[in-house]
Structure 1
Amino acid sequence: MAFNQQFTVLAIEHLTGLKNMTDFEVADRGNGIPVITAWHSTTVQPTQAQIEAVDTDALLNPPVSKPPRVVAAALNIGIADGNITSLDGAFNIAGAIYFDVGQYMLLFIEPQPDNNYFALITGDAPVKRVSDAQVDSFTIECKDAVSGNGIDPANLSVQVMRIDQ
């Protein structure tokens, strides 16, 4: 699949809580794989020299382990009265299926090449995890931390990330 900068930027803009305090640069270094450079500033935007220093440091000192490089999917889910009420900011998500209290299946528009991805899940549930990761879908479980029973949070934000091979 060719790198489409528009989709990557769209996914980044929907990452909950990051867009207002983090600035991003999305680039294609010529190999078709997007490179996302981010910097965090709570007071002022970085200067061009700071941006170049971050980029240069990232190129000269690659990490020992590979960080997530590709946003494979992103969305916000609204849940109420045993139903999925909204699916906002969806990127590469065809839909969601409500299985039971605290169990939801999310379907990819474009299947993943393998199961080498992970989901970052934030929201109102104390315990949230992916219980079944497939190339075309994954299931999220939300539970109460004390009883372990399934619960339906009012909303969840999900970002699916791939590890660059």
Structure 2
Amino acid sequence: MSDAYEAELVVDRRDTAADGVLALTLRHPLGEQLPRWEPGAHIDVVLGPGLERQYSLCGDPADRTAWRIAVLREPVGRGGSAHVHEQLGQGDKVRVRGPRNHFALRPAPRYRFIAGGIGITPILPMLAAAEAEGAEWTLLYGGRTRESMAFTEELSRYGDRVTVA
């Protein structure tokens, strides 16, 4: 993974992933391919002077046309999530750097994934990778309420391997 890539990407989609969680799909404005990434990777999103945040990539690593991130609205945060939720709209441009991976999925015959709240984002592509490799795996995903837990509908395709608490 190289963190030398830096570009202005366009917000192609804004989707509500759960109560207080916004999923953004980012694309290159000229349709150029984005750098390769592996499950566990994140990007830096530059929202303004002194306002830079890291978000896990939670889309499909094979899709080089788009990057998906999810942002939890933090009411008492330092302003990054509020900026994303309140000011970044479809069609807006945002500067990004990366991807980098400090949370790489290591090859194994079986996995026990555990995620809480927005921590599901780096796990989503890991589940798909484990599935594609034919590994045995389960996920325990916890949150305050089902409505506040992002991507539960997407996770439902995995059936009883996913436990939501």
Higher share of residues assigned strand = 1
Check whether TM > 0.5: no
TM-score normalized by structure 2? 0.32
Q: Going by fraction, where is helix more abundant, 1 or 2?
A: 2
TM-score by length of 1: 0.32
